[in-house]
Amino acid sequence: MELVAIQLNGAADWPVNKEKLAGLLEQLPVGRPLLVQLPENAVVFGNRDAVRRWAEPLGSGPVQDTLSGWAREFGIWLVVGSMPTLIDGSERWHSTCLVYDDQGRQVAHYHKLHLFDVDVADGHGRYRESDSYAPGNDLCVVDSPFGRLGLSICYDLRFPELYRALRERGADILMVPSAFTRVTGQAHWLPLLQARAIENQCYVLAAAQFGEHAGGRQTWGHSIILDPWGEICACLPRGEGLILASLDRQRLDSLRRQMPVAQHARLRAVWRDNNEY
């Protein structure tokens, strides 16, 4: 079984991204089970007008039909890092991760929990994701032939309690599709990902955006696959393309047996005993 991360220089128009992604999917190896992840903003990476044009109700629409068709055509499990989905009665959207099985069925979704409202010393400067998006409220761990997938998106990475909760729900692979800025990515991308892998003893699959985008956005790239020991299995520092790494279930199980961190965790019990939880 292979894990695959696709790195994209996303545009503000779905037809452009659609053509790029189709070409990258054509490069996938055949004849083996593949879990393929697209980055955050894989459908549209632009301003509110661009997002409004391509947002769809969850579960229906031509964009999702295309994504479903790719999963079925290539016989892959496809994790779409994020696309905008409509919220009834709201002027904002959800940033939603979608999971398709190899028959093209949409088997899970996750609405981004933590929104990127941050000032960064780059060409864009002020990021206010909450101007356009509303946060989600639910965690998602989904069964797959590769193990249980714990879903997250980009800025979620800075909140370790989320990933501990995903591990407690049985996650084996942490999904971190992202569009990290160049500044924050250079500083923190790799150490944060390695920490999430090591402390939760999970594989980490992190497909990223790379390069220059509309509105002065600059993203870091460095799509990466990490094993449960925090070791780098594959990395693509820059450019568009894809990386692959084998999933070693025996290594995952062995590490968890040798160092049963999840069973040793006591903080919740301490809080409960002290009436603080």
Please tell me the distance from the alpha carbon of residue 181 to that of residue 194, in angstroms, as a whole number.
18
Is 20 designated active site? Answer: no
DSSP state of 210: E
Please tell me the distance from the alpha carbon of residue 26 to that of residue 157, in angstroms, as a whole number.
30
Task: Tell me if residue 246 falls in helix, strand or coil.
Answer: strand
Residue ranges of the alpha helices (H) in 26-120?
Answer: 48-54, 62-74
Which member of 56, 97, 112, 202 is catalytic? 112
Is residue 93 within 8 Å of 48, Cβ to Cβ? no
Is 231 designated active site? Answer: no
Is 40 designated active site? Answer: yes
Please report, for residues 82, 167, 194, 274, the alpha-carbon distance to residue 189 in angstroms, rounded to integers and kept in the order given. 18, 20, 9, 36
Which member of 56, 129, 140, 154 is catalytic? 154
As annotated, the active-site residues are 40, 112, 154
